[in-house]
Amino acid sequence: MTHVFHRHLHSTPPVAACASGMRIQDAAGRSYLDASGGAAVSALGHGHPDVLAAMHAQIDRLAYAHTSFFTTEVAERLADELVRTAPAGMGHVYLVSGGSEAVEAALKMARQYFVEIGQPQRTHFIARRQSYHGNTLGALAVGGNAWRRAPFAPMLVPATHVAPCYPYREQRAGETPEQYGLRLADELDAAIVAQGADRVIAFVAETVGGATAGVLTPVPGYFNAVRAVCDRHGVLLILDEVMCGMGRTGTLYASEQEDVVPDLVTIAKGLGGGYQPVGAVLAQKKIVDALSQGSGFFQHGHTYLGHPVACAAALAVQTVIRRDGLLAKVRADGLAFGAMLRQALGEHPHVGDIRGRGFFWGIELVADRGSKRPFAAALKVHAAVKQDALARGLLCYPSGGTADGVHGDHVLLAPPFIASRADLQEITRLLGASI
């Protein structure tokens, strides 16, 4: 009998006992190959000696100091590093303890920005269907999953959801990817106008979608067109890179590959690599300046923000990624991984689409390839694949079934950046067997 409140109240998961590199071992001695890095978290795998050493050194020196009294050297160094490598114009880093907290802080920072500059009538967010931004009330409100929102719907901040960029399902016959991207930007424009352009705070989007639809990569030009629409209406662009950021797609920020600069960007997961809960919001100078010249105070904050050991872990993860050339590795091995997946599964009758970048791949499972017809939700095919993969000693991250507007079943692969080509082959083999 367990006293831990597991989310699935009728089952208890296996007990994770220890982990090293690409593998986690449970208390019964079973070993699992980590093909999802948890949920795109473990960027450097498990037990990386450099990260552990940095955390040990920090905890021996200073484990905690409340930010209402102090800043710390390690938080300052992490923020310097993040600003140095951030999208252009990012002035400050607001440190938090995870992805939902990062999104929550970004939403509030965007709202307070408009209050400070004398546009308090802006109260509405536009976001996308098939998106995930976290489970706190603000993040939930912008998330695109109506099933997750349903019990809390009467309590959420106002948000409208437009179509995501989902070419496999929604690009029309005869439409080029570029035309499809422009059509989506026109739909965003219409949604902003329908809401009243001067009432909208921001458009919120994952640069590359993750948790809800097995990786959704944007078509070329989509984000440039989105940026132009936002600029035309004075609406901020918030990119959520909690899952796709910090090198996951082969560049530190996925937005670099879209040549788009957001007003606010959220990061977490891979930032701490699983060693510590840590996230951040990076904000354009104009936003920080407005708050600083206005009230001079951001009306938001958490007890553990900028935790020294979390900062030490994040700094060490960044240092290792740079020192070991892991972004270039992820780009090169990511192409090879995509080729392996396509070769092994591309003709499979129940694999509809294989898409991704770097070490971030999604597989869409369908009942019928030709018509793209999804499996009946009640079959819970994604959950069955996860269960079968577990039995084979493979950890992959499934999604689908319950979400409003989500077409069917997906499997997300997000292995640690240290994965060898042999590991990627083994992941492909095991997942193929499960499917």
HEC profile of 180-216 = HHHHHHHHHHHHHHHHCHHHEEEEEEECCECCCCCCE
Cβ contact 321:329 at 8 Å: no
Tell me how far, at minimum, the Cβ of 197 lies from ligand PMP, in Å: 26
Helix H or strand E segment including 281:
strand 279-284
Phi first, then psi, for residue 282 (nearest 5°) are -105, 135
CB 140, min distance to ligand PMP, A: 10
Cross-strand pairs, 409: 365, 400
Query: Least distance to ligand PMP from the beta carbon of 99, Å?
Result: 2
Q: How far is the CB of 212 from ligand PMP (least distance, A)?
A: 8
Closer residue to ligand PMP (CB): 125 or 375: 125
Whole-number minimum distance, CB 235 to ligand PMP, in Å? 20
Between residues 32 and 132, which has the closer beta carbon with respect to ligand PMP?
132
Closest contact distance (angstroms) between CB of 102 and ligand PMP is 7
Q: Are 202 and 284 in contact (CB under 8 A)?
A: no
Closest to ligand PMP by CB, 210 vs 374, is: 210
Residues that bind ligand PMP in the complex, under the rule CB under 6 A: 39, 98-100, 103, 132-134, 206, 210-211, 240, 242-243, 268
Contact call for residues 263 and 86 (beta carbons, < 8 A): no
Smaller CB separation from ligand PMP, 62 or 157: 157
Closest distance to ligand PMP from the beta carbon of 29 (Å)? 29
How far apart are alpha carbons 121 and 111 in whole angstroms? 10
Q: Report the residue number, 242 or 309, with the smaller CB distance to ligand PMP.
A: 242
Please say which residue, 103 or 424, places its beta carbon nearer to ligand PMP.
103
Q: Which is nearer to ligand PMP, 133 or 382 (CB)?
A: 133
What lies within 8 Å, CB to CB, of 412 at 6+ separation is 36, 39, 40, 210, 211, 214, 215, 360, 361, 362, 396, 397, 398, 399
Using the structure block, give the residue that is written with the tokens 């791949």: 361
DSSP tag of 142: H
For residue 148, CA distances in Å to 115, 144, 383, 400, 409 come to 30, 9, 17, 12, 17
How far apart (Å, rounded) are the C-alpha atoms in residues 106 and 160?
Answer: 17
Nearest approach, Cβ of residue 96 and ligand PMP (Å): 9
Taking CB positions, which residue lies at the least distance from ligand PMP? 99
Of 279, 363, 241, the closest CA to residue 98 belongs to 279
Query: Cα 107–231–201 angle (5° rounding)?
Result: 25
Tell me how far the alpha carbon of residue 17 is from its chain's centroid. 26
Torsion angles phi and psi, residue 201, rounded to 5: -85, -55
